[in-house]
Amino acid sequence: MPDDQRDTLAQPENADDRLVRLPDLIENAIMDGLPVRPTVAAQLRVSTATLDRMICKARDEGLLDGIEIPRRPSPKQRDELTARRHQENDR
């Protein structure tokens, strides 16, 4: 059925450079135990409202697949991110 699939015009290869950097910045904030939105907004020099729009756009383009942005980073989530990064680096 045509309604089963969402039509998208997303082109991750043509994404804004800030959107491409967003997953790493979010993961770094989580691993450092910092509040994600204020930290990443300061690093990108944008407001938190603009950052929220960027996060929404990055999700739509599939750049944040598998990344859950917590309200507060838990030690368990930091451990999972650390393990995932080690696996990616070992490849």
Q: Give pLDDT tens digits for 16-26.
A: 788 889 999 99
Q: What is the CB-side half-sphere exposure of residue 69 using CA atoms within 13 A?
A: 20
pTM of the model: 0.63
Mean pLDDT of 69-86: 71
Please determine, for residue 71, whether its predicted confidence score (pLDDT) is greater than 60: yes
Residue 12, class by beta-carbon neighbours within 10 Å (0-12 exposed, 13-18 middle, 19+ buried)?
exposed
pLDDT tens per residue, range 25-60 = 999 988 887 889 999 999 999 999 999 999 999 988
Closest CA to 62 of 4, 3, 6: 6
Q: What percent of the chain has pLDDT over 70?
A: 74
